[in-house]
Chain A
Amino acid sequence: MHPAPSVIVFSVLSGIGFGMLAWLGIESTPATGMTAFWWYLVAFGLAVVGLVSSTFHLGHPERALKAFTQWRTSWLSREGVCAVLALCVMGLYAAALIFMGTHIAILGWIGAALSLITVYTTSMIYGQLATIPRWNTPLTTVLFLTFSITGGALISGRISTALVLLVASAFVQVIWWKKGDTAFADRGSDLGTATGLGKRGTVRSMAHPHTSPNYLMREFIHVIGRKHAQKLRVISLVLMAGVPVVLLVLPFNHIFGLLAVLSHLAGVATSRWLFFAEAEHTVGIYYGAR
């Protein structure tokens, strides 16, 4: 799959933003006033910048409001609805804390639940696609949710929780990669089933329909990025979990905290880039490629 920067930025930032909102929503003794304002500015900033970025790859962003209508069948539509609900509920909760110093616990819990449901719907947009076996597993949901609460815990300064979650997310990531590497072959689709000619003999693509690449090939067949996949996996793990764990174990220092967050973001972004670049779509079969 073509790794579109707008979608990578969207899913990384909004995932961590909603994870942070979830942590902020369940605090028993939350900050109020200006302190709360800065926390919520960061969380809303991440979530909203991510969501806005996701509209950049649309052909007709001016019609984006229509995307709220099909929540009964479409995970993309459900994501839009859940994101707006989560932001509204958490916005009310945050406004009460910031401007009135009032802690409405139930609102925070509802907002936290909606934030995590939003991340769940994001994961299902990818996880539902039978055409991309690497993504088409419940583990994709586990991956997205783990990354979300890990990043949220890290940015909101929950150091001991973040340490556990950083190790857990590295673990989930490795399992997801390992399962993903055989997912396409396990599904059993090949040029034989794709053309129906497999029972007659071995099938080989002899000529593409046109002499130069088309939309389908550009969107679904991204072989260039896979060259350094193994190295990028290691880099991603080191940046996502290794460096932050070391920095958090050291005596606390705000510079170390900031570096841990930036390193984690870079690692998750690398992982998300690989998420797309390594994904093989069944359309590739018809072109004799993955």
Chain B
Amino acid sequence: MTDLPTSTDKKLGLVIDLDTCVGCHACVISCKGWNTENYGAPLSDQRPYGEEPMGTFLNRVHSYEVTPKGQAAQTVHFPKSCLHCENAPCVTVCPTGASYKRKEDGIVLVNESSCIGCGLCAWACPYGARELDQAEGVMKKCTLCVDRIYNENLPEEDREPACVRTCPAGARHFGDFADPESNVSKLTAERGGMDLMPELGTAPVNKYLPPRPKDTWDDESILAPFLEPVAEETAGFLGWIDKQLSRLPGDTNKMEGAE
């Protein structure tokens, strides 16, 4: 049955740091690679070298521009994948039971052999996290790399989602939000992790860390005082040369205080 579990033992998910993401799309590529070569139907492409190429992706990176009032605009790269919501609307609408949320770790998955490809779960997801594969006719979504994170055939450092493993900026973090001492819980608490579209009541597990505030043009520089000249009066041999040279005409840069 596609009932949601009342609670899950673990809440596995991602923290995505919008301050650190550089928008390189490496997570998009590693996700597509791993999820095409491993669990489930491959992520197909349509007309990959033709006009208007199209394909299935479980993770996409948007780029936004935020303009604070009276300040310079700021670019924010914004990776988006399934948020593994606690109150996942995509699960309960499924007519076949193909979509489910796991009680043990909270991961939202699709059993592809039961999926009829009706697309209603994609309609129910506010975030665009689910895509109907155009070649296979089944719904694809982020599995949180369920075939990596528990895979004892992989070296321990590889037992995390492909997107997290590959991120060169360290903008993606994987962990258990049910454990208040986990890396992701601490990051969320320290940096004010945000939910996307909280008004829809989906209770997403994944959190986004807001960009840190940037300097403004009006701010006094804290380094400027250290740039003051350390010696006002010239002295010694070089001082004597400076004085003699200053007497000669032809200086293009009149230094302040030079006689």
Contacts and interface: CB of A to CB of B under 8 A. Distances in A.
Interface of A: 1, 57-61, 63-64, 66-70, 72-77, 80, 125, 128-132, 187-189, 191, 193-197, 200-216, 219-220, 281-283, 286-287
B1 A59 contact: no
Nearest to A126: B123
5 contacts: A59-B137, A69-B96, A206-B75, A209-B61, A220-B128
Contacts of A132: 123
Contacts of B93: 73-76, 128
B76 interface: yes
Interface centre among B95, B124, B201, by most chain A C-beta atoms within 10 angstroms, is B95
Contacts of B3: 72-73
Counting contact residues on chain B (CB < 8 A from A), the size range is 35 or more
A60 B110 CA distance: 14
A239 to B, nearest CB: 28
A75 B200 CA distance: 19
Given A206-B63, A215-B54, A57 B119 contact: yes
A197 B136 contact: no
Interface in B96-140: 96-98, 114-120, 122-128, 131-134, 136-139
B197 A200 contact: no
B64 A195 contact: yes
A15 B131 CA distance: 29
Contacts of B229: none
Given A58-B118, A76-B118, 18 more contacts: A57-B119, A58-B116, A60-B138, A63-B96, A63-B115, A66-B116, A69-B1, A73-B1, A189-B126, A195-B208, A200-B211, A209-B61, A213-B54, A214-B54, A219-B119, A282-B197, A283-B126, A287-B62
Contacts of A188: 199
Contacts of B127: 282-283, 286
Contacts of B177: none
Contact of A203 (B55, B64, B131): B64
Given A196-B208, A200-B68, A189 B197 contact: yes
A189 B118 contact: no
Contacts of B2: 70, 72-74
B96 A286 contact: no
Contacts of B198: 193
Contacts of B114: 63, 66
Interface in B45-86: 52-57, 60-69, 71, 74-76, 78, 80
B164 interface: no
A97 B34 CA distance: 61
B95 A209 contact: no
B97 to A, nearest CB: 5
A281 B210 contact: no
Interface of B: 1-3, 18, 25, 28, 52-57, 60-69, 71, 74-76, 78, 80, 89, 91-98, 114-120, 122-128, 131-134, 136-139, 194-201, 208, 210-211
A206 B65 contact: yes
Nearest to A197: B66
A80 B124 CA distance: 19
Contact of B134 (A61, A129, A208, A215): A215
Contacts of A283: 125-128
B70 to A, nearest CB: 9
Given A59-B115, A215-B134, A131 B124 contact: yes
Contact of B118 (A67, A128, A194, A197): A67
A196 B197 CA distance: 7
Given A130-B126, A188-B199, A286 B80 contact: yes
Contacts of A200: 66, 68, 210-211
Nearest to B92: A73
A61 B80 contact: no
A70 B123 contact: no
Given A66-B97, A131-B123, A131-B124, A197 B64 contact: yes
Nearest 6 Cβ contacts at the A-B interface? A59-B117, A59-B137, A209-B60, A196-B194, A201-B68, A77-B95
A40 to B, nearest CB: 28
B64 A214 contact: no
B128 A196 contact: no
Given A70-B1, A80-B95, A282-B126, A215 B132 contact: yes
Given A70-B96, A197-B66, A212 B124 contact: no
A60 B137 contact: yes
